[in-house]
A and B are shown apart, each in its own frame.
Chain A
Amino acid sequence: MSSPTALPNSSDLVEEHRRRIPPGHRERAEDTLRSARLRLSDLIRLGGYGLRSRPLRAVLSALGIAIGIAAMISVVGISASSHADLDRKLAKLGTNMLTVSPGRTMFGKQATLPDESVAMIKRIGPVQSATATGVVGTVHAYRNDRIPVAQTGGLSVVAAKLDLLTTVGAQLDQGVWLNGATDRYPAVVLGATAAERLGYGPTVYIGGRSWVVVGVLRKVALASELDTSVIMGWPAATTYLAFDGHPTTVYTRSADSQVEAVRGVLAATANPSAPNEVDVSRPSDVLTLRRATNAAFTSLLLGLGSVALLVGGIGVANTMVISVLERRSEIGLRRSLGATKGQIRTQFVAESLLLSMIGGAAGALLGYLVTGTYATTQKWPTVVPWWILAGGVGATVLIGAIAGLYPAIRAARLAPTEALAAT
């Protein structure tokens, strides 16, 4: 046979054919009529071809999913990181501090704690330490003697026992704490905010005389009232300012396991004659409470994230519907090549799954980066809980399956001849 182009000659073809299908050997009927299963790798590849044929559209519809997942992961991640930070702080500060302060009498007047309440509290078994401060209500602290009396700056003058620092976990920023000598003389230690307002001078003016500033405290997380206090020794307050000696706050630390038990007896111990006039609180609870308010905010943002995810899912469904409409002739061709309805369906579901999972993976990465960046700027540890990652993956799989199912069913239902007629 003459062939102008370089075609193999026909006897080669006959030979080739014989080699492939030996004479007398035919597939058995069962094999001929059994449709082969698509391998998973082929299915993934098929989904990939579909997406690659319209890359921009794929990217845009995956973007919706990515934004939703990123929003959810970063919201949960940031809140988890902030919790981790709080937990770390609480672990350092301890959650075993209880404070006792006078409440109001039955007639609404300010109550007082008995002078011996600190000693009584110290006698409670699980109490490890107890110390007190007493507000010197009659005087205020000023920068110097030229400041008008009315300008108190919102600061209080407080007498403190020497073991205050260790019990409340306060730390010095500058200078020294009071000692057995300076607590008798006109010397003060300033809380962090008090030092700012009083201008970090060498002295302050209280009750008609100058007091030497010997130290400045850092902010005290569990006793923020000390930040706005000018603190002096108990004897000095009595000597120079006619302090009445009544404690206004008693700080205690107890064995961790016994905190609640101690809390139960604290009021009666501090003021046996009028336990109802005593307020007991646990400062670490306030911090924990702040976390609870954060949680409400977090669920709001999480709701927004899931709306974004839903919109992303609709975007994927839309893309898939259009894809099926546009690819009718491809569907017809695949049917002519031997694809079953089920295989057509699987192909489009796989494509949809792939699309949303690419979006989900990008979103998870983005969410992690956002969390990491934010946590780092806040000096928090970066924490992304596993459940939100698992939830994110689960959500994308679910969205992909749901979004792809209807278009896939439509694709599979197309009659092969009708699909082939579309060009």
Chain B
Amino acid sequence: MQSSNAINYDYTVAKYFTVSAIVLGIVGMSVGVIIAFQLAFPELNNFFGEYGTFGRLRPIHTDGVAFGFTVSGIMATWYYIGQRVLKVSMAESKFLMFIGKLQFWLYIIVVAVAVVSLLMGETSSKEYAEFEWPVDIGIVIVWVLWGVSIFGLIGIRREKVLYISVWYYIATFLGVAMLYVFNNMEVPTYFVSGMGDWFHSVSMYAGSNDAMVQWWYGHNAVAFVFTVPIIAMIYYFLPKESGQPIFSYKLSLLSFWGLMFVYLWAGGHHLLYSTVPDWVQTMASIFSIILILPSWGSAINILLTMKGEWGQLKDNPLIKFYVLASTFYMLSTLEGPIQAIKSVNALAHFTDWIPGHVHDGTLGWVGFMIIGGIFHMAPRMFKREIFSKKLVEAQFWLQTTGIVMYFTSMWIAGITQGMMWRATDQYGNLAYSFIDTVEVLHPYWTLRAVGGSFYLIGVFMWAYNIYKTATSSKAIEKEPQYASPMA
């Protein structure tokens, strides 16, 4: 095995995407905090006319954190991890370097157009697929370029065996491509009729079919943006940072193929008691429960990697991020299937318990892995020490507090509202008018907004720490070394 120092890895593109992850993280989460406060204090809707209302801003939050922050994080880590586990430098291929840079700059243009068009109200309304067709085309091009980069780098690799992380990046690429294209099939109305808004389009599917395709997409966007690539990250960063080999190769294999096999069936659990066929709902419910197996398989594999080495939790704040991330992954992959049980879903659907669930996954698992991953990469990319470990530590605790406030308040809010919607008096009449069930949520919504703000402050601490690391921290001669499975 070659020592990793023999190859001079080129992190130019990884650095670009690190910057965009930080910037778009701040943008997307700031909008999230704003809309959280809007629910608690509705006057906040009225500052910017039509551009400042909850309905306009919400997609900018969800898409901003999913396709801005998270996708940037995926790219940054890919352009770092990819080279190292394949044992080949981006500098060895002018072509791949060009593709990487092109991908980044096109991505930035597409993000800018996407944000402006959503603010203008150009939306298809389908969740996490709101972008209209011109933006969709841009996204497809960016994605294809990423594919060229993945398979190009694989094509010139020295290490013949693909490391686990690479499996997951490949799956991310394929899964998102398939889902995105099929869910965004739409007909631009201008080209058929010759009039009206040329951004506007109409969905290829109608009604129940549109709903089926959308939630097949919506649920699996969670799979292939919020789960699969994040597992790719933890399979690399945790062993590297801790110096421990992955607990079980067999378990990684089983979890990978299990996840691929099961995940795609579960989308229908967003449509329980709706008008899609019953058997689809039942299948979705059952497969959602089965999904616990491969999800926990990965999580257990990760946690057992730390077997006998738990002392590291005390000394290394990055290990804290990774271990808590896998813990939140276990929590939300148990919670999701519980919500997919039909009788539980009858209560939980349409309530705040759902966004609560989403956020213990996204804040705890996705956010912590991207933040922790970039903290691992920074000293190696910039050849400088982390500016302040104390600040990392403080950030960790502040954000953890924020997450706990977020999901506990949303659990209570969701179950309270769900119960009130169905409560009846002694004669069997509905006990509460709708507005009663809104007013009762005010304290929980306030708490949630404050929790979200804590997390956002943590992101600013992260940004500052990385900025300082890149510019003025103490330089290091040799890359920090830990025993590790691959490099």
- On whether the two chains bind one another, the answer is no
Chain B interface residues toward A at CB < 8 A:
none
Chain A interface residues toward B at CB < 8 A:
none
